[in-house]
């Protein structure tokens, strides 16, 4: 072994040290926040040199990013195991703008039926008006069953594993291999997996994140990212972002950098708390099924155990057929520690009924009764369970 080789630091350690000047530098621990639109150059030769670096982290004009944007890009690429990262102003932008880098009129896209609702809307409206067709496949479809859905015009296979409402796990390596064999690129919403799923070792070409969630961690920013490991894919992503004028607030980028410093401890704590609450749900007679991939016996647990190193704090609860949708609403209304709201990944716990609010165009999975999605924050699990126990009587009658 080379005595001078760089030590292989863990992700937990790298989250504390990368993207800042270092530990032996006089100055503040955190990097400065850089805002700006106009960039000045020493002379025309310097400007020409920078303009030639349009696809790189070059200071040319504000819309191409500042040192704050670049630091966040490097951090996300490191977490995802990629080489390049494009930051977007929202998670939704990170989902839909990359699609525009891959498709044109006459092309075809395959989407899981469990895909994030606004992405479905984008496909059914804007992409459709562009002459791009989208077919939705059942999220638990095997690679063999998916094969007949590919056409010579299929450019993208989109994956979201697990789905953020019904938590279907997808066999990413098998699906990616099937797509690549037919010349299609693989884009994946990896927000649930984040630091616990290595997309590029499983065949993904573009890994998408809603940085609004765990990266920020405090429910006060809107950001997204698309990360790649291959230069050809980087050109498609970066070109689409620049042509469409995509830009993220440097203030939000700075807050995401700060949030990432504690990502490891938050993810670990929230995963443990979520599993504790999920086990409590699983033992309740009012509950038919808990949809948490990391919970033994849950749908997709075998894929999670094979491909993931951890889990996040979002899962679904399916109630018994005797429980009405209205009753789940009464139960959620009775909770005092759980907020009622969309998004997840913050420090606060959330509860959101999903029955009646989730769109499916293909064959829907069969669930016994109404569903509620739970996000477990940083509160003590015992307090959350006590809150749930107090609210559960509202499920009756």
pLDDT digits (tens, 9 = 90+) for 167-187: 999 999 999 999 999 999 999
Does one domain contain both 296 and 246?
A: no
Among 26-30, 180-184, 244-248, 332-336, the range scoring the smallest mean pLDDT is 26-30
Query: What pLDDT score was predicted for residue 359?
Result: 67
What the block records as the tokens of 331 is: 């139960």
Domain count for the chain, please give it: 2
d(C-alpha 110, C-alpha 17), whole Å: 39
| 253 Rama sector, left if φ>0, alpha if ψ -120 to 50, beta otherwise | alpha
Domain presence at residue 1: no
In a domain, 244, yes or no: yes
**CA 122 from chain center: how many Å?**
17
Same domain, 324 and 347: yes
- For the domain that residue 289 is a member of, what is the CATH number? 3.90.1150.10
In a domain, 177, yes or no: yes
Residue 331 to residue 327: CA distance in whole angstroms: 6
pTM given for the model:
0.93
Task: For Cα atoms 151, 137, 244, give the angle at the middle one, nearest 5 degrees.
Answer: 75
Residues 275 and 335 in one domain: yes
Q: Which domain holds residue 126?
A: 11-260
Domain final position from 238, 260, 282:
260
Could you tell me if 319 and 379 are in contact, meaning their C-beta atoms sit under 8 angstroms apart? no
Q: Taking a C-beta distance cutoff of 8 angstroms, is the pair 216, 238 a contact?
A: no
Indicate which CATH number applies to the domain containing 172. 3.40.640.10
CB 212 within 8 A of CB 224: yes
- pLDDT by residue (tens digit) across 96-112? 999 999 999 999 999 99
- Please report which confidence band the pLDDT of residue 365 belongs to, taking 50, 70 and 90 as the band edges: low
Q: Residue 1's pLDDT is what?
A: 42
More confident residue, 380 or 16: 380
64, 172: one domain: yes
Please tell me the predicted confidence (pLDDT) of residue 250.
Answer: 96
């Amino acid at each position: 072994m080379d005595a001078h080789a760089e030590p292989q630091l863990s992700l937990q350690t790298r989250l504390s040290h990368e993207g800042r000047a270092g530990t032996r530098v006089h100055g503040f621990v955190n990097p400065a926040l850089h805002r700006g639109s106009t960039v000045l150059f020493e002379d025309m030769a310097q400007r020409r040199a920078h303009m030639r670096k349009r696809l790189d982290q070059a200071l040319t004009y504000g819309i191409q990013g500042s040192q704050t944007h670049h630091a966040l890009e490097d951090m996300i690429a490191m977490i995802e195991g990629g080489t390049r990262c494009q930051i977007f102003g929202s998670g939704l932008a990170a989902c839909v703008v990359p699609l525009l880098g891959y498709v044109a009129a006459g092309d075809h896209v395959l989407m899981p039926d469990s895909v994030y609702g606004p992405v479905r809307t984008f496909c059914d409206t804007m992409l459709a008006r562009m002459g791009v067709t989208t077919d939705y496949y059942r999220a638990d479809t095997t690679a063999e069953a998916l094969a007949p859905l590919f056409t010579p015009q299929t450019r993208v296979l989109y994956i979201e594993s697990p789905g953020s409402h019904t938590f279907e796990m997808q066999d990413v390596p098998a699906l990616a291999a099937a797509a690549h064999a037919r010349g299609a690129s693989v884009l994946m919403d990896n927000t649930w997996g984040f630091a616990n799923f290595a997309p590029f070792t499983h065949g993904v070409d573009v890994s998408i994140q809603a940085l609004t969630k765990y990266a920020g961690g405090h429910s006060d920013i809107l950001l997204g990212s698309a990360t790649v490991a291959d230069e050809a894919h980087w050109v498609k992503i970066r070109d689409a972002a620049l042509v469409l004028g995509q830009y993220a607030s440097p203030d939000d980028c700075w807050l995401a950098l700060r949030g990432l410093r504690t990502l490891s401890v938050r993810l670990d704590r929230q995963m443990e708390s979520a599993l504790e609450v999920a086990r409590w749900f699983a033992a309740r007679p009012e509950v038919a099924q808990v949809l948490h991939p990391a919970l033994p016996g849950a749908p997709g647990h075998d894929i999670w155990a094979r491909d993931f190193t951890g889990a996040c704090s979002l899962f679904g609860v399916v109630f018994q057929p005797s429980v009405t949708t209205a009753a789940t609403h009464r139960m959620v209304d009775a909770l005092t520690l759980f907020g009622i709201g969309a998004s997840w990944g913050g420090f606060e716990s959330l509860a959101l009924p999903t029955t009646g609010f989730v769109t499916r165009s293909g064959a829907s999975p069969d669930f016994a009764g109404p569903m509620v999605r739970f996000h477990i924050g940083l509160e003590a699990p015992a307090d959350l369970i006590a809150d749930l126990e107090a609210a559960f009587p509202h499920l009756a009658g």
